[in-house]
Amino acid sequence: MLYFTNHAVRARGFIAPFFLFAFALLLASCTQTKISAINSDPARYSAKDVTVAGQVITSFGLQNQGAFELDDGTGRLWVWSAGFGVPGQGARVVVTGRVRAGVAIGGRFFANVLRETAPHKTA
C-alpha cells in the first residue's frame, strides 16, 4: 500500500506544475491585443505595455536595433526595437511594448509605432 501512496504523490507532483504551466500559457494568449484595436485608438494603449503577435512583413536593422512591420491579420503596425534585435521577414513573433503616436524614424513618419520594451519571442 505504501507503494501506491508514494506513486500518487509523485503523480501529483507532476500534474500540478503541468496544469499551472497550461493555465499560464492560456492567460498569456488571452492578453494579446489586436493591431486593429491599437490603430483605431492608440491613446488607449499609450501608457501601458501591450502584447501583439503576428508575421513580420518588412524589417531593417543594424547593430541590434531597427524596425519591423508586423501583420496580425487585422492590421499592420511598425515595431521599433532598440537593443533586442530585428527578426527576419516572414518570422512569426510575439512582441511587448508601448504604443507611441506620430514617430519619425530614418526620415519616415509613422502614425503608430510599438516601442519594444522586452525581447520579442518567436511564435
What pLDDT, on a 0 to 100 scale, did the predictor assign at position 109?
Answer: 76
What pLDDT, on a 0 to 100 scale, did the predictor assign at position 25?
Answer: 44
Residues 24 and 40 in one domain: no
Number of domains making up the chain: 2
Residues 70 and 39 in one domain: yes
- On the question of pLDDT at 67 being above 60, the answer is yes
pLDDT digits (tens, 9 = 90+) for 8-62: 555 565 565 554 444 444 444 558 999 999 999 999 998 789 999 999 999 988 8
Residues 42 and 98 in one domain: yes
Residues 66 and 117 in one domain: yes
Residues 38 and 24 in one domain: no
- Per-residue pLDDT averaged across 68-91, rounded? 94
Helix (H, G, I), strand (E, B) or coil at 105: strand
Residues 53 and 110 in one domain: yes
Residues 6 or more apart whose Cβ sits within 8 Å of residue 45: 33, 37, 38, 98, 99
Residues 63 and 84 in one domain: yes
